[in-house]
Amino acid sequence: MLPVRRAPLVLAGVLAGVLAGVLAGACAASPLTFPRGKLVDLTHAFNDKTVYWPTSPSGFVRQVLAYGPTPAGFFYASGAFAAPEHGGTHLDAPIHFAAGKSTADAIALDRLAAPAVVVDISARAGADRDAALLPADLDGFERAHGRIEPGTIVLVRTGWAARWPDRKAYLGDDTPGDATHLHFPGIGADAARELVRRGVAAVGIDTASIDCGPSKDFLAHQVILGADVPAFENVAGLDRLPARGAFVVALPMKIEGGSGGPLRIVAWVP
């Protein structure tokens, strides 16, 4: 398993080696290699069942523009889509809750591609659907798995991804246009402050919000995004990652001035 600090350097070295091989014409002489491991998709597919916040004016809509043979004899497919910035597996850019902070197109890439840890609170969340990540959870993780280094992406696993895309099971309530009866786990304000103090690159969670469902003041959003730290919501597949050792790449749609956007997030697990 790669140490947290070395993972970016190792991957950068691999990519540099690949590029050097291509430039030198070495590809024809020998096959390219990549560190042993696997890629894990942490993204829910976007479709008509994608979960959006209850007050969103719409969900994900895809229109088929063309699908089939053309008069020229070849196959051609094309479509158009529309969606709110926040819903499905997506980015919360800091500007979402913090004036003057980074928009979706301006987030530094080293916040979107970095070593990751998974802090698992799924046992407590299974007993309390409003459970919050606490500073004690971070301290317990560090005792068991080592320090959460600055520049790390911290992913919070609650087990909620298993409920996707059942809106009532996932959100706690499926009343259209009403966000006052939501119940799902999130990140407590004190834990949010601890994450910022540790200098994390980004924070992700497998629920609809980094704040717990009943929250009305969204303190986790205010604290984390206020520190210019991006957040990833509705993340999938965290049960497939180790507590430490994965390298995450989370690339959102680059929407100029955007407060968020659809996200394709994957992890490389050595």
Residues with a known catalytic role: 96
- Return d(Cα 74, Cα 180) in angstroms, integer: 52
Closest to 267 (Cα-Cα) out of 33, 37, 4 = 37
The position carrying tokens 């910035």 is 85
- Return d(Cα 23, Cα 242) in angstroms, integer: 36
Closest to 267 (Cα-Cα) out of 184, 202, 193 = 202
Strand, helix or coil for residue 45? coil
Closest to 54 (Cα-Cα) out of 222, 212, 218, 168 = 168
Helices 189-197 and 135-145 cross at an angle (nearest 10°) of 50
- Return d(Cα 116, Cα 11) in angstroms, integer: 14
CA distances from 169 to 162, 183, 199 (A): 10, 9, 33
Task: Check if the beta carbon of residue 256 is closer than 8 Å to that of residue 103.
Answer: yes
- Return d(Cα 25, Cα 22) in angstroms, integer: 5
Checking DSSP bridges between strand 38-41 and strand 260-269, what pairing results, if any? Answer: antiparallel
Checking DSSP bridges between strand 186-187 and strand 132-133, what pairing results, if any? Answer: parallel
